[in-house]
Structure 1
Amino acid sequence: MSAKTRIVLSSDHAALDLRAAIAAHVSAKGYEVVDIGPTTTESTHYPKHGEAAAQKVASGDCALGIILCGTGQGIMMAANKVKGIRCGVCMDTFSARMIRQHNDANMLSIGARVVGDMLALDIVDAFLDATFEGGRHGTRVDMIKAIEG
């Protein structure tokens, strides 16, 4: 991805601090951050935030998305309901690299209550620095897309 690639960030209330750290980190790497909130610690529902971020990616408004909730699981499930989204929860750098290289993932989910801040930034870097390998993986991604209809 080139500099000024737009990346949408969203979370629920459980991940405000980590989302802010990721936003600063991603911005410092030269990406344009589109942070769609929330902005307060008031309890909120992760499905609406996962869907909103996924819609930004699916529409082409943003190239990639990074979403967070307590475990990363619920918000990922909501994002993956949006046609065209391939989002994975990652708790390590290997998985983050592989979801881009082998699955052409366009969104990354992280659990703020599961992953420490420094590891989260390393996971983000692994995700952003990886590129889709195509080839046999392209065939498999096409098979995933076919399931969507």
Structure 2
Amino acid sequence: MILASHAIIGAAVGRLFPSSPLYGFLAGLLSHYAMDAIPHWEYMLQSVFKRKESGVGRVKAREIIYAGVDLAIGILFAFAVFPKGLESPEILPLSLGILGGILPDALQLFHLFYKGEPLRTHQKFHNAVHARRHFRDQPLTGIPLQIAIVALFILISNFLVP
């Protein structure tokens, strides 16, 4: 999934734990792996892919900006769709849910530059839970599916925490 989806879903599950920010973080973290296990659409950062495959290459600033915009959209959307979180005790678990939701992909990025532990073990685990089927070349299928999954999490979260 893209970072925006992970951030929004992380916020949706994180806010379910208003009295326990740690649980909000853990819920966001677990949501990342659960969502990656579902076949989904994602964009591929070509420089990252080339570096992963050949061990050479540089991460391009353009791709970092692209991922940063993706993440910013997710965070802004999460706070827009859960506006109560900005002025309540919900803000900390919601924010930590976002952090947990995106952390595994950040660790993957760090793994490109440092192959040691614990990043090596995390990379193996992340790859193991990641869906084998994806919609990378089928955005007309994958993007609506991802939007539907995100919308479902928003609806459930708003139902459980009105």
**TM-score category, normalised to shorter length:** under 0.3
Give 1 or 2 for the bigger CA radius of gyration: 2
Q: Which of the pair is proportionally richer in strand?
A: 1
Question: Which structure is richer in relative contact order (CA contacts within 8 A, separation 6 or more)?
Answer: 2
TM-score by length of 2: 0.24
**TM-score for both structures, normalised by structure 1:** 0.25
